A and B are shown apart, each in its own frame.
Chain A
Amino acid sequence: GAGVSQSPRYKVAKRGQDVALRCDPISGHVSLFWYQQALGQGPEFLTYFQNEAQLDKSGLPSDRFFAERPEGSVSTLKIQRTQQEDSAVYLCASSSDRGNNSPLHFGNGTRLTVT
């Protein structure tokens, strides 16, 4: 496909369960970002990859959140022992260069509901 693809589109988890959210960026895109968007809020930065290297994880809210991009393409965001406050839409975005000259392309997001 031409765009950023995220799966699943919706995820319902019981409190305490682990979840894994997948992002397929646009082929060849170097930079990949994860954002968290709570209801009625703007997206909040979670973490940034340049190829396979996680260069910035300062936005991850706790050590229950973990992200990886082992081969520099697909990325997975994992949340362990989910809590109700983790309920949000998780957005993935990619861009073609390392700097800020090319636009970010966003996926449609994964809506996580923790019950």
Chain B
Amino acid sequence: GDSVTQMEGPVTLSEEAFLTINCTYTATGYPSLFWYVQYPGEGLQLLLKATKADDKGSNKGFEATYRKETTSFHLEKGSVQVSDSAVYFCALSGNYGNNRLAFGKGNQVVVIP
């Protein structure tokens, strides 16, 4: 079935550092890919998405490119802020005909001032 794999472990980095969170997926057909973010005490929010190969999703300085050849959708940000501290989830929407999502385990990101 459809699945998403995120790199293991939390990510701790200093303010203004470069952030990368790896995400790979397994799916049949042509899924849509998403990054969701969960800030402390809040619900999951859509951060960005890409619906077809080579699309780049972007929002709030974050970017991710849908790479079909490597089945990846890595999240990047060039200069993180303390306010980016959150849990980030990679997800895909497969061929269910609705918005059913398969999520990765998530990565806790802690940005230190």
Binding site for B on A (CB under 8 A): 3-4, 31, 33, 40-45, 48, 50, 55-56, 91, 93, 95, 98-100, 102-104, 106-109
Contact = CB atoms under 8 A, between A and B. Distances in A.
A41 B106 contact: yes
A12 B44 CA distance: 23
Contacts of A4: 43
B5 to A, nearest CB: 10
A103 B105 contact: no
Q: Which of A33, A43, A55, A91 gathers most chain B CB within 10 Å?
A: A43
Given A40-B105, A100-B32, A100-B93, A91 B44 contact: yes
A56 B43 contact: no
A42 B103 contact: yes
Interface residues of B, number: 24
26 contacts: A31-B99, A33-B99, A33-B100, A33-B101, A40-B106, A42-B4, A42-B89, A42-B104, A43-B44, A43-B89, A43-B101, A45-B101, A45-B102, A48-B98, A48-B100, A50-B98, A56-B96, A91-B44, A93-B44, A95-B99, A98-B98, A99-B98, A100-B32, A100-B98, A106-B36, A106-B44
B69 interface: no
Contact of A43 (B32, B41, B99, B103): B103
Nearest to A59: B100
A98 B45 CA distance: 20
Q: Which of B32, B41, B44, B45 gathers most chain A CB within 10 Å?
A: B44
Contact of A100 (B36, B41, B44, B99): B99
Given A41-B106, A42-B89, A42-B106, A104 B101 contact: yes
A107 B101 CA distance: 15
